[in-house]
Chain A
Amino acid sequence: MRLEEKLYLLRHVVDEESHIKVDQEACMRCADRICLDVCPANVYSYVEPKVFVAYENCVECGTCRIACPFVEWVNPKGGAGISYRYG
């Protein structure tokens, strides 16, 4: 089963504002770009010369916050974001 299909199963309340900010300057110079691999929801993608953040798919594990120093990750607004039906 593809990740896209799995993400499609999830219920999100999407906020119009992103709760994830990246330092594009740093991302451009970053040799590692671990964000592309470490995120379980594949939120990050790189299309020269920018890192794109599909924050609406974020499942709020916070792994990117620990793995990458250039991500500024905060909780989405109250009530917004992932809403697990099973958990």
Chain B
Amino acid sequence: MTEKFDAIVVGAGPAGVTAGYVMAKNNVDVVIIERGELPGSKNVIGGVLYIKALNDLIPGFWREAPLERKIVQHSYCLIGRNEHILVSHKRATESEPPNGYTILRSKFDKWYAKKAQDAGATLITKTNVTELLSHAGKISGVRTDRGDLSANIVIVAEGANTMLCEKAGLITKPRRDQMAVAVKEIVSLPSDRIQERFGLAEGEGVAIQYIGAPFKGLVGFGFLYTNKESLSVGFGAIISTMMKERIKPYDLMERFKEEPSVEPLLRDGAVKEYQAHMIPEAGYGGMPKLFSDGVLVAGDSAMLANPITGEGADLAVLSGRMAGEVAVEAHRKKDYTSKALAGYQQLLLNSFAVKDMKKQSGLLCYIEENAEIMTAYPEALNALLGEWFKVDGSTRSEKIKRIRSTVVTKRKLTKILKDVYVFGRKLM
């Protein structure tokens, strides 16, 4: 006989655990199934959890959760040829609640899963869900490598590898231009060295995004985040562009770490872990069928990630909460039909995050078709500032003339105007 629950959640990442937490709090008998040894064993984050979604659900969670550093400084580093520009924003007085924290997933996910367990959810680890079971056209449970489980509703939060959703016909396998591969290293450094090196007080952290020369030909960018006693450094790039350039991820990683804008920040650090993960970049247009009879899809599986803002984990929490709430309502009414679950999609589409994703849809395609802009602008801006700061006996008007001619060799004026138009329309 198969064991029966009210609800099954596949995956103990932030989407699944949030859904499980919400349901358990509302007395729904829910089991969360995780394939890793522990929650977080399989999971990777670039660095930052923006806390709003989770703070709305569990106010003040950031006072007790195992977080790394509160992000007080955001920077963009535009890399040219042997030169770079650093644009930073730092707030001296802290706002409360904070905006975001760096986290390490093995610690954070374990803590968060415990929260759901304390609320009454059952957690099963080391168990791989191999398919969704259906009965009379409705999802009725899951098959795992340790037996079948049945439930009235299944919430799929399986992450970026959407095999279950594909098998169940909820999504077609994402294309190469819809997914990014991200590689990251944990580089350990004593906390006082980190604070000294980045000009931080205890507990404070920075987030740096790198675009330009190291990623020539790619649609991708690098990142560096400060943890308590380590740095998270790496990059993400659209798979089709990595394939076109035939760049090996680990070669690019090494080259990136040698960049003059990166290398001094990593100096004397020891690599503790090397990680790779995919990031869904399909955007609004590539989202799966979010609901069907007896099933909801949340988190990375729902393609909820925003490369512009760096959101991902918080969107997992947001969607997990909505899925959980809709499941609770379905449980109350004893109605798990797709009609009863359709509200989930409505909630999600009305959220700020998905509105932004909708607005910027098509932008990634535009960048992929014009990949040169990923290096042309950083190079042009570097040339501009380099010229501006140089004292070489030429007058300012001579310099401006030179700047103007360098900029247009990087990208034609008509194309610049089009870029401004497209970016403006998609982002503003």
Contacts and interface: CB of A to CB of B under 8 A. Distances in A.
Are both chains from one complex? yes
Interface of A: 1, 3, 6-7, 9-10, 13, 34, 37-42, 59-63, 65-67, 73-79, 81-87
Contact of A62 (B109, B160, B176, B274): B160
A82 B173 contact: no
B146 interface: yes
Contacts of A10: 273-274
A41 to B, nearest CB: 7
Contact of B272 (A7, A78, A86): A86
Given A3-B250, A62-B160, A83 B37 contact: yes
15 contacts: A1-B271, A9-B271, A37-B246, A39-B249, A59-B276, A63-B278, A66-B179, A66-B278, A78-B125, A78-B144, A79-B37, A79-B125, A79-B127, A84-B44, A87-B43
B211 interface: no
Contact of A87 (B105, B183, B247): B105
B250 A42 contact: yes
A38 B105 CA distance: 25
Interface residues of B, number: 53
Interface of B: 35-38, 40-45, 104-106, 109, 125-128, 130, 144-146, 160-161, 163, 173-176, 179, 181-183, 185-186, 230, 239, 242-243, 246-250, 254, 271-278
A44 to B, nearest CB: 11
Given A9-B274, A62-B160, A67-B176, A83 B36 contact: yes
Contacts of A40: 181, 183, 249-250, 276
Given A9-B271, A61-B181, A74-B130, 9 more contacts: A39-B249, A61-B277, A63-B239, A63-B278, A66-B278, A77-B128, A85-B272, A87-B43, A87-B106
A3 B250 CA distance: 7
Given A38-B239, A62-B161, A79-B125, A9 B272 contact: yes
Contacts of B186: 86
Given A77-B145, A79-B37, A83-B37, A67 B239 contact: yes
A1 B185 CA distance: 12
Nearest to A83: B41
Contacts of B272: 9, 85-86
A36 to B, nearest CB: 9
Per CB-CB distance, the 4 closest pairs between chain A and chain B, nearest first, are A79-B126, A87-B105, A40-B276, A6-B274
B275 A84 contact: yes
